[in-house]
A and B are shown apart, each in its own frame.
Chain A
Amino acid sequence: MTNGTTPQSPAEADVKSRRWSLSLVWLVPLVAALVGLSMLIRAWHDAGPTVEVTFETAGGLTPGQSQVKYRNVVIGEVSAIRLSQDHKKVVVTIDLDRDAKDFARKDSRYWVVRPRIGTGGVSGLDTLLSGDFIAADPGDSDQRATRFEGLENPPPVTYGEPGKRYRLKASDLGSLDIGSPIYYRKVRVGQVVSYALDESGDGVDVDIFVNAPNDQYVTADTRFWNASGIDIGVSANGLELDSESLLSVLTGGVAFATPKRESGSAPAEAGTEFQLFSEKSVALSPGKGPAQRIRMRFDQSLRGLKEGSPVELIGKQIGEVTRVTLDYDASDKTFPVIVDARIYPQMMGQAYGKLLTDIRQPAGNADEVPRLFEDLVNQGLRAEARTSNLLTGQLFVALELYPDAQPVEFDVTLDPIQIPTRPTSLDKLQEQLTRLVDRFSKIPFESIANNMNGSLAELRKTLSSINSDVMPSALQTLKSIDGVMTDMRSTLNQAADALDPSSPERTRIGHALDEVERMSRSVRELSDYLRRHPESMIRGRSQPVRSDQ
């Protein structure tokens, strides 16, 4: 490489003195090589674990472009997307950065961030412009993993968030969903994290997360209830409307409170199980105590009575109907309805204790409840199906005392307890109505109608004979009457002529009347004279009479 100088050059000596500079130029490729090498080493050094995450769909993800972020810091990149072996899933290969190796733990979670509208508001709007990305949550497991099942929805609680998880046991999920809020004194303190059917399938386990420091208010005695919807109550103050928040009305939510008398206990451990009550009043009411099954047999239709219908003792609810079944009585060919119910004697309150003392039963005895009911039934306790709502026809079972009821046998050994029944007041009314209808139906409307039909036919016949026979003769009669009337008119005309003032007959009559007048006057005079002088009848008229006039 030193042939840049040629031996015959006169400047050979000068060039040779600078021989060291020959190697200097090699620094340039050396530096370039070093830079390249250092880049290589850094890339190899920075390369973190490669993980594979399966998703339902690869929507919005592009290999080489989509990023993996944690708290909006890029921690990796999607390097490849392919279908799984069975073509049911999408396998996304992610190259994680070196400092993101904690995201390859066994319980690390990955999900795709897309614009979403959820209970907590709108999230992921920035991805509208930047494109979807994968978010990751490190987890805290000690084991490493390279294959992950991607979440389809973002987890509501990310790793490391301070707070506690609890499990609520509910009969059904209601309107709860992942992310539904948890309220304490109407302050949002957590959210529903997950839910699943429990092992038996009889209920739902709802996992909730209460953020610190508010998790200290959850104690072993805390009651949880479903805060979905609006509570409308009518009280002496008027209509009362209550709800946790507008959001919970729309999306459902859970609220909790600790009854005052039990406050002061230590905060509950994470993972504690609680019962999820359906409403606040139920959750905060004192315990129901042990349940007692009762059975009633009604000889009437119980349309409107269903599972959960209340059982009330003198107007106070002490239980609910659990089952309504139809029975068949072969002896009298009827279908009695068997109603099973569960009652909580403790819900009678202080009456329960007093009743027990009344029947001289020590509290805590195994058969205290049957004994108590025996006493009550002997006093006239009867079950009755009553209408609670006239519009919907819903029924409830009312246990009332009827001292004049027929005495019945009561077997204390039976379980469930058999409570005698009596027909409903409405039922009686119905009976009366039925009887009335029966009587109505007994009226022989048909024969009456038949008779009337015959009479009408007769009438029609009579009318037709009148038409055919009587009418012509009547016409003739009318005609002859007409003739008579004409004659009468001419007679009357003659009479009118005769009565005319200018007619000679009239004048003559006038004269005749004048004559009659004169005659009557002379008769009066005669009579007057005779009254004064009755003797003249015998003696004749005396002369001086004239002078008296």
Chain B
Amino acid sequence: MTVAVAAELGLCLCHRCHKACDLNASPHTCPRCGAHLHRRKRNAITRTWALMLTALILYIPANVLPIMHTTSFKGDSTATILGSVVTLWRDGAWDIATIIFIASVGVPVTKFLVLGLLLCTVHKGDTRSRRDRTRLYRGLELIGYWSMLDVFVAALLTALVQFGALGTIEPRPGILFFGLVVVLTMLATLSFDPRLIWDTDTHDD
């Protein structure tokens, strides 16, 4: 392409203070803040893969294990994510059911798919629709934390509904795993370097 790449100019952006450093002058450390200089995020693809796979593994117990335990005078009930979605839908609260479904199933699955797609294409050095992929990545960053909705709902309910014999809600391990999934997917997104999408432009691996 016509646009000059920073590497060709011998420039590198400091990760800490975002100063454009001259690699020829100070090859390893930032002259301003002293941080180590890396041309790209370190081990970006490996880290992203690892974190994403971890999230994927943890996503299984997050869905299988119960997330909440409700004790009320009507009886005890333990709910998984999908179970509560189904219950809400049956009870007529289809709007809330939809929100929870999107937050807890739609968003994480989308993240897994998008991250997997990005990683695969970067790994293969695919040059097609790089602009769209960059847009996808930005979207990924945007929706990342909305999955925490579930965790917040569980945390709020646990904190608020403590009426002793009348009713209590306790968290169950599922919500911990789900929170880990959300955090790990966000970390995976962070550790991915979108500039890698464009690296294939000038240097084919």
Report which A residues bind B (CB closer than 8 A). Answer: 1-11, 14-15, 18, 21-22, 25-26, 28-29, 31-33, 36, 39, 62, 64-65, 129-131
Contacts A9-B7, A25-B51 supplied; 18 other A-B pairs, CB < 8 Å: A1-B49, A2-B46, A4-B44, A5-B40, A6-B199, A7-B203, A11-B12, A11-B23, A11-B27, A25-B43, A25-B47, A25-B50, A26-B50, A28-B184, A31-B54, A32-B53, A64-B78, A129-B73
* B-side contacts of A31, CB under 8 Å: 54
The residue that A32 contacts in the complex, of B28, B57, B74, with Cβ under 8 A, is: B57
* A-side contacts of B36, CB under 8 Å: 14
In the docked arrangement, what's the CA distance between A6 and B39, Å?
Answer: 9
Counting contact residues on chain B (CB < 8 A from A), the size range is: 35 or more
B165: CB under 8 A from chain A? yes
In the docked arrangement, what's the CA distance between A29 and B45, Å?
Answer: 14
B58 and A1 within 8 A (CB): no
B165 and A129 within 8 A (CB): yes
Q: A6-B199, A9-B39, A28-B51 in contact; A1/B45 too (CB < 8 A)?
A: yes
A8 and B47 within 8 A (CB): no
A14 and B42 within 8 A (CB): no
Which of B41, B49, B50, B78 is the most central at the interface, judged by chain A CB atoms within 10 Å of its CB?
B50
In the docked arrangement, what's the CA distance between A31 and B49, Å?
Answer: 14
B38: CB under 8 A from chain A? yes
Which of B54, B58, B74 is the most central at the interface, judged by chain A CB atoms within 10 Å of its CB?
B54
* A-side contacts of B73, CB under 8 Å: 129
B75 and A62 within 8 A (CB): yes
Chain A residue at smallest Cβ distance from B39 = A9
* B-side contacts of A18, CB under 8 Å: 42
Q: A11-B23, A11-B38, A28-B51 in contact; A4/B199 too (CB < 8 A)?
A: no
In the docked arrangement, what's the CA distance between A209 and B57, Å?
Answer: 57
In the docked arrangement, what's the CA distance between A321 and B58, Å?
Answer: 86
Q: A28-B50, A29-B54 in contact; A4/B43 too (CB < 8 A)?
A: yes
In the docked arrangement, what's the CA distance between A404 and B199, Å?
Answer: 142
In the docked arrangement, what's the CA distance between A36 and B62, Å?
Answer: 10
A33 and B75 within 8 A (CB): no
A interface SS class: loop
Q: A10-B27, A32-B58, A129-B165 in contact; A22/B43 too (CB < 8 A)?
A: yes
Residues in B34-72 with C-beta less than 8 Å from chain A:
36-47, 49-51, 53-54, 57-58, 60-61
Minimum CB–CB distance for B35 against chain A, Å: 12
The residue that A3 contacts in the complex, of B7, B12, B123, B184, with Cβ under 8 A, is: B123
B75 and A130 within 8 A (CB): yes
* A-side contacts of B45, CB under 8 Å: 1, 3-4
8 smallest beta-carbon distances between A and B, as pairs = A131-B75, A29-B54, A29-B53, A32-B54, A32-B57, A25-B50, A4-B43, A10-B23
Report which B residues bind A (CB closer than 8 A). Answer: 7, 10, 12, 23-24, 27-28, 36-47, 49-51, 53-54, 57-58, 60-61, 73-78, 123, 165, 184, 199, 203, 205
B51 and A6 within 8 A (CB): no
Chain B residue at smallest Cβ distance from A26 = B50
Which of A6, A22, A32, A131 is the most central at the interface, judged by chain B CB atoms within 10 Å of its CB?
A32
In the docked arrangement, what's the CA distance between A21 and B46, Å?
Answer: 10
B203 and A8 within 8 A (CB): yes
B37 and A11 within 8 A (CB): yes
Q: List 16 A-B contacts (CB under 8 A).
A: A1-B49, A3-B45, A4-B42, A8-B203, A14-B36, A15-B42, A21-B43, A22-B43, A25-B43, A31-B54, A32-B53, A32-B54, A32-B58, A36-B58, A129-B73, A130-B75
Minimum CB–CB distance for A112 against chain B, Å: 14
B28 and A14 within 8 A (CB): yes
The residue that B205 contacts in the complex, of A3, A10, A29, with Cβ under 8 A, is: A3
* B-side contacts of A29, CB under 8 Å: 50-51, 53-54, 57
B77 and A11 within 8 A (CB): no
B76 and A65 within 8 A (CB): yes
* B-side contacts of A33, CB under 8 Å: 57
B43 and A11 within 8 A (CB): no
* B-side contacts of A8, CB under 8 Å: 7, 203
In the docked arrangement, what's the CA distance between A129 and B76, Å?
Answer: 10
B50 and A11 within 8 A (CB): no
Chain B residue at smallest Cβ distance from A21 = B43
A131 and B76 within 8 A (CB): yes
A11 and B28 within 8 A (CB): yes
Minimum CB–CB distance for B202 against chain A, Å: 9
In the docked arrangement, what's the CA distance between A31 and B180, Å?
Answer: 13
In the docked arrangement, what's the CA distance between A26 and B54, Å?
Answer: 9
A130 and B39 within 8 A (CB): no
In the docked arrangement, what's the CA distance between A32 and B74, Å?
Answer: 37
* A-side contacts of B28, CB under 8 Å: 11, 14
